[in-house]
Amino acid sequence: MTLRQIDIGPQYLEEKEEFLLEKIADVKKRLGDQVMVLCHHYQQESVFGFADSTGDSLKLAKDAAKDRDRPYIVFCGVHFMAESADILTSDRQAVMLPDRRAGCPMADMAVIDHVEWAWQELEKVVSGAKIIPVTYVNSSARLKAFVGERGGAVCTSSNAERVLTWALSRGDKVFFFPDEHLGRNSAIALGIPEDETVLWKRGHHMGGNRPETLAGSKVILWDGYCTVHMQFTADHIRMWREKDSDIRIVVHPECRYEVVGQADKYGSTETIIKTISESEPGSKWAVGTEINLVNRLSRQFPDREVHSLSPFPCLCSTMYRIKPAYLLWVLENLAVGREVNRITVDPKTAEKAKLALDRMLAI
Ligand code: SF4
């Protein structure tokens, strides 16, 4: 969800970055154990340097939940991540998103009203079949709650295949939200025939499908996508292979199948980091994920060649909204006891969403 952000004023927005960074270091020191700054792997370097914990969205939410003594969690990520942290942390902890406009376009592609409408249509067409909903963690708390309420589970890019297997063992069909590509790549990895995976097009009657196609399907994919990972193409892979036969390709499963299928390896951000860090010095990599992570890996491993798979920088522009000025603004307000940009999930939604998250953790 993309929310409105108040104007934080020229005293933050017009300051030089050097000055802002000094002030962040100072106020963070003053706040001490009162605050925990969490940074996603895609965060820009000037903010990433202040992280108490780094990781993918779920790892960060779990880190926040483990450290129950810190009353303030400043989540340098996007909106759905802050929501997950609010769901998993205690009532005594407050989660803040430095810039409320930091939403995730993919999560926003599965609006709950549209999902409910699609679910009702599907239930009518395949009446008698048991449908299990699964949602990628990159989704709103309301969608997670919808899934939790209907016996489904959340998944991440590391465990999507496992969660899909679990869901198929419990029902006849899986409705997978919101990322078409993570769903498709996982279904292919599990050997589900192509004609048993169908795409549900948002805004179309029966998702643009014929009743018999839906009746014969096993996996129904919502047609959401990540605007960053969609920028990588099979042509980029061909280009690198022609240029350098020693290059290896590692990509995120939010990329299209034509990219994932031709890569040497694919996996979550944690898998990508592990792959590069465990590779031999001198190895060469073209990486299909967000540019801040690719550049960081390149700096961290100067004895390896780490390039972006795309010749153009693929930036998560919403996460990029979390700039030092906004981080400082939140921290300075906390230092005087003011909670700004707090992200909360109402208790009923949180309870149902937690069911879906807990199911995933138990799988
Ligand atoms: S990288 Fe893609 S999925 Fe992740 S927050 Fe950005 S738009 Fe959303």
In tens digits, the chain (363 residues) has pLDDT values of: 668 999 999 999 999 999 999 999 999 999 999 999 999 999 999 999 999 999 998 888 888 888 888 999 999 999 999 999 999 999 999 999 999 999 999 999 999 999 999 999 999 999 999 999 999 999 999 999 999 999 999 999 999 999 999 999 999 999 999 999 999 999 999 999 999 999 999 999 999 999 999 999 999 999 999 999 999 999 999 999 999 999 999 999 999 999 999 999 999 999 999 999 999 999 999 999 999 999 999 999 999 999 999 999 899 999 999 999 999 999 999 999 999 999 999 999 999 999 999 999 888
**Which of 83, 101, 135, 227 has most ligand 1 atoms within 8 Å of its beta carbon, as the pocket-test mutant?**
227
Q: What is the pTM of this model?
A: 0.96
Backbone φ, ψ for residue 153 (5° rounding): -140, 160
Q: Could you check whether 10-104+318-345 and 229-308 share the same CATH topology?
A: yes
- Which amino acid, one-letter code, is at 320? Y
Determine the Cα–Cα distance for residues 173 and 180; give it in Å rounded to an integer. Answer: 15
Q: Residue 107 Cα, ligand 1 centroid: separation in angstroms?
A: 8
- Which atom of ligand 1 is nearest to 105's Cα? 7
Cα dist. 125→128, 151, 205 in Å?
Answer: 9, 20, 11
Ligand 1 binding pocket includes 322 (Cβ within 6 Å): no
Protein residue closest via CA to atom 3 of ligand 1: 226
What count of other Cβ atoms lies within 10 Å of the Cβ of residue 337? 6
* Domain residue extents for the chain: 10-104+318-345, 107-225, 229-308
Among 246, 287, 283, 247, CA closest to 266: 287
pLDDT of residue 2: 66
Tokens at 30, concatenated: 């003053």
| Greatest Cα-to-Cα distance within the chain, rounded to the nearest angstrom | 63
Judge contact between 231 and 252, C-beta under 8 A.
Answer: no
Q: Return d(Cα 63, Cα 327) in angstroms, integer.
A: 19
User: For the structural domain made of 229-308, what CATH number should be given?
Assistant: 3.40.50.10800
DSSP SS3 for 96 = strand
In the three-class reduction of DSSP (H, G, I as helix; E, B as strand; rest coil), residue 72 is classed as: strand
Ligand 1 centre to CA of 114 (Å) is 20
CA–CA gap between residue 81 and residue 88 (Å, rounded): 11
Ligand 1, atom nearest to 317 Cα: 6
Q: How far, in Å, CA of 102 to CA of 120, rounded? A: 31
The reported pLDDT for the residue numbered 9 is 95
CA proximity to 271, closest of 135, 159, 163, 363: 159
Token readout for 83 is 């929501």
CATH T-level topology, domain 107-225: Rossmann fold (3.40.50)
Rounded to whole angstroms, the Cα distance separating 319 from 41 reads 10
Q: How far apart are CA 349 and CA 357, in angstroms?
A: 12
Whether 106 is in the pocket of ligand 1, judged by its Cβ within 6 Å, is yes
| Ligand 1 lined by 227 (C-beta under 6 Å) | yes
CATH superfamily of 10-104+318-345: NadA-like (3.40.50.10800)
- Give the whole-angstrom CA distance, residue 7 versus residue 179: 33
